[in-house]
Amino acid sequence: MDDYWNHNTAYHRELVAAVRQGARVLDVGCGDGLLLQKLAGRASQVTGIDPDAAALSRARERFPQSSPVRLIHGDLLTSPDLEGQRFDLVTCVATLHHLPLIPALERLRDLLAPGGQLRIVGLSANASVLDWAISGALLLPIRVMSGVHRESGYPDMTTARPSESLTHIRDAAATILPGSQVRRRFYYRYSLTWTKPA
Ligand SMILES: C[S@@+](CC[C@H](N)C(=O)[O-])C[C@H]1O[C@@H](n2cnc3c(N)ncnc32)[C@H](O)[C@@H]1O
């Protein structure tokens, strides 16, 4: 399966750049495995988890039989395959809004090894006048950039509308992941970065 560009893959480069030498990496909501494939070029151990069996089988096609990439068919919150596992980097792109926010943030925190980094690229709901104003102002520039990159959409992906505002996500992150950085980003996304104390 080929590479493609959309508002999620636009952030892949910075996520891949966050991989440190010898890192154990988990991609939550790995879908068809495009990010996993890019991470596998740098990490020593790469795991993806997704409950969508069809997407996972497309992900499997990206890797030869002998590949050490591990694909878990399951739910972030309940998969027994993640029990006792700890990762140096956990990525989660366009997936957090599919899950109950607080249990998901707690689970992501618990899956990190001390000193490990969480990198979320997420979607939030417009709730305030400011949210709507920013989205409106970005409409045209995002359309232009999507054209420049020849956006190919979201091939056979399970999608959902976000229901939580960025303010709500920021407040939850401040409690569960103290010191985390939540930033509004281009392409109607936010990023949340947190390093677990060593
Ligand atoms: C919009 S897609 C994003 C896929 C991929 N991360 C990307 O950026 O292209 C959201 C993904 O989250 C997955 N997902 C939904 N609920 C999940 C859960 N409880 N645990 C792990 N992944 C989940 C869906 O199956 C889907 O593949």
CATH of the domain at 75: 3.40.50.150
Domain assignment present for 166: yes
Domain assignment present for 20: yes
CA 68 – CA 90 distance, rounded (Å): 17
Q: What is the count of structural domains for the chain?
A: 1
Q: Which atom of ligand 1 is nearest to the CA of 6?
A: 9
Task: Encode pLDDT of 107-160 as tens digits.
Answer: 999 999 999 999 999 999 999 999 999 999 999 999 999 999 999 877 788 889
Domain assignment present for 141: no
CA 126 – CA 188 distance, rounded (Å): 10
CA 67 – ligand 1 centroid, Å: 22
Query: What's the rounded mean pLDDT across residues 162-170?
Result: 97
CA 176 – CA 106 distance, rounded (Å): 7
Kindly give, in sequence order, each residue whose CB lies less than 8 Å from that of residue 80, ignoring residues fewer than 6 positions away: 74
Domain assignment present for 94: yes
CA 71 – ligand 1 centroid, Å: 13
Domain assignment present for 37: yes
CA 157 – CA 47 distance, rounded (Å): 19
Q: Which residue, by CA, sits nearest to atom 15 of ligand 1?
A: 98
* Nearest C-alpha neighbor of 118 from the set 109, 129, 106: 109
Domain assignment present for 148: no
Q: Which atom of ligand 1 is nearest to the CA of 52?
A: 25
Domain assignment present for 150: no
pLDDT at 52 over 90: yes
Task: Encode pLDDT of 6-43 as tens digits.
Answer: 999 999 999 999 999 899 999 999 999 999 999 998 89
Domain assignment present for 149: no
Domain extent at residue 76: 9-125+155-195
Q: How confident is the model at residue 1 (pLDDT cuts 50, 70, 90)?
A: low
CA 121 – ligand 1 centroid, Å: 12
